[in-house]
Structure 1
Amino acid sequence: MHCRASHQWSGNAVAPTTGLTGGGGVNRDYPLTYCTNIHPGETWADVRRNLEDHGLQVKRLCSPAQAFPLGLRLSARAAFELDEAEIHRFANWCGEHDCHVLTLNGFPYGSFHGTAVKQNVYLPDWRDPLRVSYTKRLADIAVQWTPNHRPISISTVPVAFRAGFEPAHWTIVRTHLFDVAAHLARIRERGGPLIRLAIEPEPCCVVERTDEAVALFERMAFPEPLAAHVGLCFDCCHQAVEFEEPADCLAKLASASIPIAKVQVSSALRARGKAVAALLQFDEPTYLHQAVVLLRNGELRRFTDLPGLARWLQEGEPPEECRVHFHVPIFLEELGGIGTTRFFLEACLPRLPSGTPLEVETYSFGALPPAMRLDSLGHSIARELNWVRETLDAAHSRH
Structure 2
Amino acid sequence: MKLQDQPPLHLTYGLSIHPDETWPELWASIQEKALAVRARVAPGKAFGLGLRLRDAVSREMAEGGNLRRFRQFLDENGLYIFTLNGFPYGRFHGGRVKEQVYAPDWRTEARLDYTRRLADLLAVLLPDGVAGSISTVPGSFKPWIHGASDVERITDQLARAVAHLAGLKEKTGREIHLGLEPEPGCLFETPDELIRFMQEWMWPRGRVRVARELGCSLAAAEQKVRLHLGVCLDTCHVAVCFEDPEEALRQYQAAGLRISKIQLSAALEADAVGRAALARFIEPVYLHQVVADLGGGRLRSWLDLPEALAALGSLPEARAVRVHFHIPLHFEGGGGLRSTTFALRPSFFRALQNGATEHLEIETYSFDALPGGASRDVVESVAGEYRWVLQRLVRAN
Q: 1:172 aligns with which of 150, 153, 159?
A: 153
What is the alpha-carbon root mean square deviation over aligned residues? 1.7
Q: Aligned letter for 2:4?
A: G
Q: Would you tell me which structure has more helix in proportion to its own residues?
A: 2
Distance 1:43 1:195 in 2: 25
Unaligned runs of 5+ in 2: 208-221
How many Å apart are 1:171 and its aligned residue?
A: 1.7
For residues 130-171 of structure 1, the C-alpha deviation after alignment (integer angstroms, 9 at most, x for no partner) is 000000000111111113421000110010011120222012
Q: Which whole-Å CA distance do the structure 2 matches of 1:230 and 1:277 have between them?
A: 41
Q: Is the 8 A contact 1:333 1:341 kept in 2?
A: no
Q: Judge conservation of contact 1:292–1:323 (CA < 8 Å) in 2.
A: yes
Instruction: Check if 1:184 corresponds to 2:147.
Output: no
Q: What residue number does 1:350 align with?
A: 350
Cα offsets for 1:51-85 (capped at 9, x unmatched):
11101111111111210000000000100112141
SS at match of 1:31: strand
Match of residue 390 from structure 1: 391
d(CA) in 2 for partners of 1:199, 1:341: 22
Equivalent-residue separation in structure 1 for 2:303 and 2:314 (angstroms): 17
- CA distance in structure 2 between the aligned counterparts of 1:262 and 1:335, rounded to whole angstroms: 31
Q: Specify the alignment match of 1:280 in structure 2.
A: 279
Unpaired stretches in structure 1, ≥5 consecutive residues: 1-8, 11-17, 21-26
Counterpart contact for 1:106–1:135, Cα < 8 Å: yes
Residue 43 of structure 1, CA deviation: 1.4
Q: Secondary structure at the match of 2:349?
A: helix
Aligned to 1:206: 187
Q: Is 1:60 matched up with 2:39?
A: yes
Match of 2:367 in 1: 365
- One of 95, 98, 105 as aligned partner of 1:125: 105
Distance 1:374 1:243, change over 3 A: farther
The letter for the 2-side match of 1:186 is G
Per-residue CA distance 1:272-293 (angstroms, 9 max, x = gap): 2243232222111110000000
Checking the alignment, whether the CA contact within 8 Å between 2:20 and 2:52 is kept in structure 1 is: no
Q: Any residues of structure 2 matched to 1:11-90 within 5 Å, and which?
A: 19=4, 30-82=9-61, 83-90=63-70
User: Is residue 341 of structure 1 aligned with residue 340 of structure 2?
Assistant: yes
8 Å contact kept, 1:148–1:192? no
Is the Cα contact below 8 Å between 2:202 and 2:225 reproduced in 1? no
- Equivalent residue of 1:365, what SS? helix
Secondary structure of the 1:205 match is: coil
Residue 220 in 1 paired to residue 227 in 2?
A: no
In 2: Cα distance, 1:338 partner to 1:239 partner: 18
Distance in 1 of aligned mates of 2:195 and 2:249: 11
Measure, in 2, the Cα distance between the counterparts of 1:202 and 1:107.
Answer: 11
When the two structures are superposed, what TM-score results if normalisation uses the length of structure 1?
Answer: 0.90
CA deviations 1:294-325 (Å, max 9, x no partner) are: 00333000110011111212324331111000
The 2-side partners of 1:350 and 1:312 are apart by 40
The Cα offsets for residues 322-361 of structure 1, whole Å up to 9 and x where unpaired, read as 1000000101232665111011233533322335311001
Alignment correspondent of 1:303: 302
Post-superposition offset of 1:28:
6.3
- Give the direction of change, closer, same or farther, for the CA distance of 1:189–1:335 in structure 2 (3 Å limit): farther
Task: Identify the match of residue 153 of structure 1 among 122, 125, 133.
Answer: 133
Distance 1:393 1:19 in 2: 12
Structure 1 equivalent of residue 325 of structure 2: 326
Which sits farther off after the overlay, 118-127 or 224-233? 224-233
Q: Which has the higher contact order (CA 8 A, sep 6+)?
A: 1
Is the 2:226–2:258 contact (alpha carbons within 8 Å) kept by the matching residues of 1?
A: no
Q: Percent identity?
A: 39
Residue 293 of structure 1 contacts residue 300 of structure 1 at CA under 8 Å; is this kept in 2? yes
| Counterpart code for 1:346 | R
Residue of 151, 163, 177 corresponding to 1:196: 177
| Offset of residue 40 of structure 1 | 1.4
Q: CA deviation at 1:376?
A: 0.8
- 2:222 is aligned with 1:242: no
